[in-house]
Each structure stands twice: as C-alpha cells, then as structure tokens.
Amino acid sequence: SIPAVLLVDTGVDDAFAIALAARSPQIDLLGLVASFGNSKLENTLQNTLWLTQLLGVQVPVCKGSAHAFCEPDWVPEEGVVNCHGDRGLGPVVAPDTLAAAPAGEDAVAFLAGILERSEEPVALIPVGPLTDVARFVVARPDLLPKIRVISLMGGAGRGGNVTPFVEANISSDPEAAATVFGCGAPIVMCGLDCTRDCVVTAAMIEELRAESEGELAQVLCDSGAFYLSIDELLHDPLAVACLIDEGVLRTEEHYVDICLTPGEHRGQTVVDWEDRLGRPANVQVGVAADPQRFWQLVSAAVKGTL
Ligand code: BDR
Ligand code: CA
C-alpha cells in the first residue's frame, strides 16, 4: 500500500476523500492536516477529528494553517455561507467536544516527522489550499526526495469556479500554489478539467444511503445531499482515487504556471497545452476521469466494503 498524508479543509467533498483514504487497503494513511479553506480552521479541524472518530481510525490529525502563505493578517469573513454550509459539513455539525485531540506539532514538523520515519517515499494529497505543503517544501527541501507524488485537487486548465478562470483551492493561496508547482516534486493535478466528470446526483446519494449503515454513512449522505444540491461535483476524492486505481484518471504532462497578477486571473493554473514554451513539464494534468470507476471506489468506501 501507498504511505500517504491527506491535507484537507473539511468540507463536504473532503469528508468523502478522508473516508476513501482511511478505508482503502491500497492507502496507508499516516496523517491528516486540516487547514482553513471551506470554513475557518477551527471548524475544518473539528470536522476532521470527528470524521476519524466516526471512521474508527487512529490517524493523527495536525492543525494546519489558518490563513494563506502571504496573508498573515487575513481573518475569515463571518457569515459567509458556501456550498459547504456554515461550519463545513452542510447541515451536519460536529460535536463541540471530542475524544480525539490534534497532534501537538506544527504542520511542518508533523510532515517532516512522517516523511523521516517512512522507509518509502510518501504521497502528499492536498485537497484544500496548498499553504501547508508550500510551507513544508520551503522549510525542508532536503525531504523533497521523500515525496512520492503530490496528488492534488486544485486548479483548472480550462474554466474556473471562483472566477471564469480560477479554481477555489488555488485561489485561496496562489503564492503557496506557485511554490508547490515549482518545487520539483512529481505533481498530479486533479483540477476541474477532470473533477468536472465526477458528477454525483441526489439519487446516487439516496441509493448510497439505502445501502449503508452506521453514523459515518449518515453524516456523509446528509452533508453530501446538501452540498450536491448546489454543486453536483464531488471533487476531492479524485485526488485519492487516482492513486488507488490508475484507470480512474487520464493525464497529460505539461508545464503549468500559476498567475499571481492581481485581478480575475490571479490563481489561474496556466497550462501550456501545446508545449509551445519548450519548458520541462512539471505537472501531470488530469484531463478526464472515469465516473463509474470513481463512484465505485467512493461509494464502497462509504459503505465500508472497499
Ligand atoms: C475545491 O474547493 C472546495 O470547495 C472543495 O472542497 C474542493 O477542494 C473545489 O474547487
Ligand atoms: Ca477541499
């Protein structure tokens, strides 16, 4: 199995990604890092801890960044409700007190410890802002060879979901994305170009609910039903699924740059589709996903039959 760390901003689709990573026999989930993103850090961390408890797994959860790499003064806007609802999991709210507590380390030390202890290189799977991965590669370039791959959900070679050009995770921290895309580690980009194929309908969720038992499935189906009524795409599990089943994702290797110029292109993942610049490719760009194979993995993870 592949040793991996999942970096989340839980988040409805993050919750499904956590279930898939925790339950797949092909993934050895060594840690989770929760950061700001879909909701403020306090909520995404609590949601992540709660999910590990519902899954019954002993995976350490680290408290990641509360704001973007270059925006130390940023504070979350109160009262902004997106498709993840007020606290991140739609209508479902994590209990205030939980048995599990976050690891007592900073995300850089947490990631370094995991990579140093692992005999094999570790897959990093960021499905939120890239802040903590950026902090890590800047602080510990000596550990780059221990990164097997960075399989990320983020970006869009064509079209965006925050502006017509920019995807949410990259938009949340463009400087971090630029650092990660330029770090030299192998990158698989599961952006909107391929997550657009991961359509999950209300009917699919209800069928899943009927076939599942237990509190975890109930939480995922309740939050999933709310989120998918606004956005029918379950993005994040694809960055996990493509490590489990190579056939789930079709990729093309290209040079990708992050636009940092202020304006509606800030945070755009600019792909040199025709390799006109002649620069070495730094990213395996996901261009299409197989929706059946994707849902087969995700639904089996929720049911506990993987
Ligand atoms: C990404 O943004 C978040 O809303 C989702 O969790 C996903 O990671 C999709 O653009
Ligand atoms: Ca996410």
Q: What is the pLDDT of residue 231?
A: 87
- 35 Cβ closer than 6 Å to some ligand 1 atom: no
Q: How far is CA 20 from CA 165, 260, 302, in A?
A: 29, 33, 7
* Catalytic residue chosen out of the listed positions 9, 14, 173, 193: 9
pTM of the model: 0.97
Query: For 292-296, what is the mean pLDDT?
Result: 98
Q: Of the given ranges (76-85, 104-113, 216-225, 275-284), which has the lowest mean pLDDT?
A: 76-85
Task: Give the tokens for residue 281.
Answer: 């490719």
* Predicted-assembly ipTM surpassing the 0.95 threshold: yes
- In tens, the pLDDT along 166-191 reads 999 999 999 999 999 999 999 999 99
Q: How many CB atoms are closer than 10 A to CB 39?
A: 24
- 11 Cβ closer than 6 Å to some ligand 1 atom: yes
* Residue with CA at minimum distance from ligand 1 atom 10: 168
Q: Which ligand is closest in space to the CA of residue 161?
A: 1
For 86, the enclosing helix (H) or strand (E) is none
Dist. CA 235 → ligand 2 center (Å): 8
- In tens, the pLDDT along 74-99 reads 777 776 668 888 899 999 999 999 99
Q: What percent of the chain has pLDDT over 70?
A: 99
Mean pLDDT over each residue of the chain, to the nearest integer: 96
Is 193 one of the annotated active-site residues of the chain? no
- 88 Cβ closer than 6 Å to some ligand 1 atom: no
What is the distance between the alpha carbons of residues 173 and 150, in angstroms, rounded to a whole number?
Answer: 17
Could you give the angle at which helices 12-23 and 41-55 cross, rounded to 10 degrees? 40
